[in-house]
A = this chain, B = another copy of it.
């Protein structure tokens, strides 16, 4: 059968972002307040339409830069490490997910170090870092509790999927370093794992594990006492991206 433009229905395609960071020992996600219907006034994940000549990854990187000012960390040039990790998460296309029209959203997951303050088009009151349990409460994806209204659209589901991806991926990859500044200590990295998994890890076994995995951490020579206590060695993320054997997540 020949090419027939009427043979398929038109879709709008968006990218939505699950941007995660660790602040004050808890895993937080970036949420923006919706300024227009539907779901006006409710919190949602940042995102927007994919433009005509734009790849999906480009669109996600553009939205991330617009919302946070973050550049995407390019795996090909790991020298300048001022960027975030960005990867595609999943695509959501329920016909009813947007009441206006048929929208397919390609969700992306971004991991960033702790940032000074969010900005949503320069308006700080319309963007915030919120603990993920708080955002997932009342959505069927978190524990019960009195909290804010659930996220707009199916964003609670998307956020839950993104959090689960991050939780499982730091097991077998060095991705947890994406939550850390360029130089960090073993203790800081351990607190990332503890925040993302909501568990307590043994500092001695953790230290043995991460320093004993070749290519995971590279000492920079410096030390710091910014966490108090005895000065700790500073490290950079090494070239290894896979953790084998993986870091084991304790039973809860």
Contact = CB atoms under 8 A, between A and B. Distances in A.
A3 B104 contact: no
B50 A93 contact: yes
Integer count of this chain's copies in the complex: 2
Nearest to A59: B93
B7 A10 contact: no
Contact of A12 (B8, B52, B53, B100): B8
Interface in A122-169: none
A190 interface: no
Nearest to A55: B94
Contacts of A76: none
Given A100-B3, A104-B106, A95 B54 contact: yes
Contact of A49 (B7, B36, B53, B92): B7
Interface in A45-102: 49-56, 88, 90-95, 100-102
Name the interface size band of chain A. 20 to 34
25 contacts: A8-B13, A8-B14, A8-B50, A9-B49, A9-B51, A10-B11, A10-B12, A11-B11, A11-B12, A13-B13, A13-B93, A13-B104, A50-B93, A52-B95, A52-B102, A53-B95, A54-B95, A55-B93, A55-B94, A56-B91, A56-B92, A56-B93, A56-B94, A88-B91, A91-B106
A117 interface: no
Contacts of A3: 36-37, 100
A212 interface: no
A93 B51 CA distance: 11
A210 to B, nearest CB: 20
A184 B122 CA distance: 61
Contact of A104 (B36, B95, B102, B104): B104
Given A36-B3, A88-B90, A9 B52 contact: yes
A252 interface: no
Interface string A8-48: 11111110000000000000000000001100000000000
